[in-house]
Amino acid sequence: MSYVITDACVDVLDRSCVEECPVDCIYPGARMAYIHPDECVDCGKCLPACPSDAIHWEYKMPPELELFVAVNAEFVAEHGLSGGAGDDATDADHPVVSQRKPA
Amino acid sequence: MDPESLVHSRFILIWACNVQSTNLHLWPYIAEARKRGAKVVVVDPVRTRTAAAADQHIALRPGTDGALALAMAHVIIAEGLTDDDYVEQFTVGYPEFAERVEQYTPEWAEAETGVPAETIRTLAREYATAQPSVIRIGVAVERHAGGGQAVRALSCLPGLVGAWRKPGGGILQLPLWAFPVNWGAFMHPEMLTPGTRVINQYRLGSALAGELDGLPLKALFVYNSNPVVVCPDQDKLVAGLQREDLFTVVSEQFMTDTADYADIVLPATTQLEQDDIMFSWGHLFVTYNHRSIDPLGEAVPNTEMFRRLAAAMGFDEPVFRRTDAEMVAEAFDWSHPNMAGITVESLQEKGWQRLAVPSPDEYAPHAQGGFPTGSGKVEFVASAAAGGNFVVPLFRQGSNDHQPGQPVDPLPHYIPPRENAAGDPSLAGRYPLNLLTPKSHAYLNSSFGNHEFHRRVQKEATLVLHPDDAAARGITEGAQVQVFNDRGRFTLVAKLDATLLPGVVVSAMGSWRKHSRAGATLAAVNPTAFADLGNAPTFSDTLVEVEIA
Ligand code: SF4
Ligand code: SF4
């Protein structure tokens, strides 16, 4: 259960949400940021901070963005991300994201 | 101390408090301290999300917090890690305390708590030497037979090592006392008829069943509470609420498990519909709450409810005719130095203002003593113990009548849990599992337990078991189980977790009875026995057995 970042973040990645998150559970990749579903405390603080409205609550996902629930979870699992992002970014993305053409 | 000062702490000991779930706004200060090099250690029987996020998690057996704290004091004193100058100037009773803790060796504490003696030594050394160090203590420490003395022991540690000297040092539970609240105007204890009976809400079930001394209860008025979920002895309590001869009035925003049994439900406003002024348990700001909308329907704030009730009952004292604005004006001692620059008008304009105390970078209120104790110092030997066991009147609407009063040892000492194998082998034989009922992640006690968002985040109530305890009972993940003891039983879904201590089972409190699988929540098995100090409940001092349902 958590908040989920979706494709409106791709190539924006301005990290406003990272600044807001009280538990540091948002992990920037190369082109998009990802929320760790087990570390997210559902506080909702990141949602209004996003300039591109990329963040949604898992239970209120627009149907066409539903796949990003798995995208967020799989990315952090794949890269073994946990315990806070700090100032680090992962120089990679989930395949769904890296396949997107740059705008 | 100021929670914001935690950024300056070098060693943060979070004791029985799941900060990320229940005190989230403190976590960013802890995270910042950590960035600056602080170590964060969590002491908790359960690997909470806070424990998982810390640098170190020390899992101790439920209810043995006092043993760990006293053994830390033992190590600090035995290894000469005390701040002798602070002890000399700003504490009372050090020689007696040092003599008392001689017996509490790390090896003794290992047997009691399950924490290795070497881990205890290292913890004590790091806590004492990384100054300023802070302990964030949760109420869970209080919830067993020796809870009061456990808190006493913990409260002695910062004085021992001089943690109070600098911003970011000390012990933090609630910074309430920095607010010059005009308690007398809030509560008017002088209006209480002397001798009025005080009934502890954790005995409400027994009270309704007529098991307590005194006249039987004929009427019950509940506001700002949901006793069916938060009080123990649920079966008895619900049976009491169903009494035909009991007149029950509940003032509520929602049809809670308690409101279900009311003869009359009075609609109450939410904070969005009323003006209010607030002190805080978690920061040093005074807040003014402007209502966003006028009250919906016939809802009224508590203030208006009691004004109308008083008028209808013929009480015509001026105090019952005060307007909300007059009550706001009386709420604080505005002439107190901490209120410099703060007025009702400035609060109404700004919404919130920080007390006029030094900034979090400078605020060390007890660097030179100045504690609210008889001596103004850290009292290893507590002068307040002379009056016997008592409840701070603040928590009884100002009443000082009918205090428990039994003698109290002024020196901290260890009282083991009431329901344990050593103390009661026959009980432990029948009910070998220790049930912990921590605050849930998504509810505030029972508040929000009816709300769709919060229920989805919290998910259905579960009983978390160690896989070995589950296997021994043929319980698998997702199985429906019954948890029971002599007091009652409740039914829910099993969840396995190998990080849990064997012999401990966990179910988060707060979910509602009407959402439960068999008409009962964990309140059905919780005890009504009090802890050693202040008639506190002992929810963490509960033995149960579990079986497939
Ligand atoms: S909801 Fe809160 S915890 Fe979750 S990612 Fe957003 S800010 Fe972080
Ligand atoms: S604030 Fe929005 S756009 Fe910026 S990194 Fe976060 S999700 Fe991406």
pLDDT (tens digit, 9 = 90+) per residue, B256-313? 999 999 999 999 999 999 999 999 999 999 999 999 999 999 999 999 999 999 999 9
pLDDT tens-digit series, residues B337-368: 999 999 999 999 999 999 999 999 999 999 99
pLDDT of the residue at A1: 60
B360 vs A59, higher pLDDT: B360
With the CA atoms of B169, B29, B18 and B278 taken in that order, what torsion angle do they form, in degrees rounded to the nearest 10?
90
pLDDT of A64 reads 95
**Domains identified in chain A and CATH numbers:** 3-84 (3.30.70.20)
User: Using alpha carbons only, what angle is made at residue B533 by residues B529 and B534, rounded to the nearest 5 degrees?
Assistant: 85
- Residue by residue, what is the 3-state secondary structure of A11-77? CCCCCHHHHHCCCCCEEECCCCEEECCCCCCCCCCCHHHCCCCCEEEHHHCCHHHCHHHHHHHHHHH
Task: Name the pTM for this structure.
Answer: 0.94
Q: Which residues of A touch B56 (CB under 8 A)?
A: none
What is the average pLDDT across B491-502?
Answer: 97
CA of A58 to the centre of ligand 1 (A): 12
Residue of A23, A57, A83 with shortest CB distance to B20: A23
- Looking up tokens 């009061």 gives B148
Query: Closest residue (by CA) to atom 8 of ligand 1?
Result: A21
- B457 token code pair: 């985040």
- φ, ψ of residue B38 to 5 degrees: the values are -70, 150
A41/B24 CB distance under 8 A: yes
- Higher pLDDT: B133 or B216? It is B133
- Mean pLDDT for chain B overall: 95
Contact B53 A39 (CB under 8 A): yes
Q: Is A42 on the interface with B (CB under 8 A)?
A: yes
Phi and psi at B429, nearest 5°, equal -70, -40
Cis peptide before B295 (omega within 30 of 0): no
Domains defined for chain B, CATH in brackets: 3-176 (3.40.228.10), 184-278+285-354 (3.40.50.740), 425-548 (2.40.40.20)
Residue found by looking up tokens 């401990």 in the block: B504
Residue found under tokens 């540091």: A24
Nearest to B456 among A1, A22, A41 (CB): A1
Average pLDDT over residues A73-102: 90
CB atoms within 10 A of CB B215: 8
Q: B53 and A41 in contact by Cβ < 8 A?
A: no
- Which residue in A2, A19, A24 has the most chain B C-beta atoms within 10 A of its own C-beta, making it the best mutation to test that interface? A24
Q: Give the mean model confidence (pLDDT) for residues B236-254.
A: 97
> What proportion of chain B, given as a percentage, has pLDDT over 90?
89
Q: How confident is the model at residue B189 (pLDDT cuts 50, 70, 90)?
A: confident
- Would you give the end-to-end CA distance of chain B in angstroms? 48
Q: What is the Cα–Cα distance from B284 to B177, expressed in whole angstroms?
A: 10
- Residue (of B76, B47, B57, B83) closest to B153 by Cα position: B76
Distance B228 CA to ligand 2 centre (A): 43
Band of pLDDT at residue A16, cut at 50, 70 and 90:
very high
Over 70: is that where the pLDDT of A71 sits? yes
**Which residues 21-40 of B have a C-beta within 8 angstroms of A?**
21, 24-25, 27-28, 31, 35
Distance CA A1, CA B49 (A): 14
Instruction: Give dist(CA B4, CA B166) in Å, integer.
Output: 13
Q: Which residue has the higher pLDDT, B194 or B437?
A: B437
Picking from B21, B31, B453, the nearest residue to A41 by CB comes out as B21
pLDDT at B78 over 70: yes
pLDDT surpassing 80 at residue A103: no
3-state SS string over B378-445?
EECCCHHHHHCCCCCHHHHCCCCCCCCCCCCCCCCCCCCCCCCCCCCHHHHHHCCEEEECCECCCCEC
Complex confidence, ipTM: 0.83
Average pLDDT, chain A: 92
Size of interface A-B (CB pairs under 8 A): 32
The CA-CA-CA angle for residues A42, B275, B24, to 5°, reads 20
Tokens of B377: 């110092």
The share of chain B scoring above pLDDT 70, in percent, equals: 100
pLDDT in tens, B145-182: 999 999 999 999 999 999 999 999 999 998 988 999 99
- Tell which one of A20, A25, A26, A52 to mutate to probe ligand 2, the residue whose CB is within 8 A of the most ligand atoms: A52
CA distance B299 to B268: 5
Q: What is the mean pLDDT of residues B98-116?
A: 98
Give dist(CA B136, CA B147) in Å, integer.
16
3-state secondary structure of B268: strand
Q: B53–A23: do the CB atoms touch at under 8 Å? A: yes
Q: Which of A60, A47, A38, A63 is nearest to A5 (CA)?
A: A47
* Euclidean distance between CA atoms B351 and B457, whole angstroms: 30
| AA identity, residue B18 | N
